[in-house]
Amino acid sequence: MRCKYCLQTNVVKNGQLSYDQYYRCRSCNRYFRRTLLDDVNPKVIQSLLNNGVHRYEIARKYGCTNTAINRYIKEHKLIE
């Protein structure tokens, strides 16, 4: 596993809250949690949007909420 911020592999588990495992990076000393969308390539989401797939359907496919999909689209600057 890699850190979301510095991409180093020096990561340790650091507690659990509401079924979410939290991690701490020993390199940059930042905390983060792993989400279902972390492994998704932005190009895949962009191609789904280009093919007319609705955001709710994308959320259902990846097992997350439509709010998480909206945030992902905004963070990665994807266009419908």
Indicate the pTM of the whole model: 0.67
DSSP single-letter state for residue 53: -
- Whether residue 80 has pLDDT greater than 70: no
Same domain, 18 and 45: no
Number of domains in the chain: 2
Same domain, 12 and 24: yes
Residue 80 covered by a domain: no
Residue 63 covered by a domain: yes
The parent domain of residue 57 ranges over 36-75
Q: What is the pLDDT of residues 41-58, one digit of tens each?
A: 999 999 999 999 999 999
DSSP-derived 3-state class of residue 66: helix
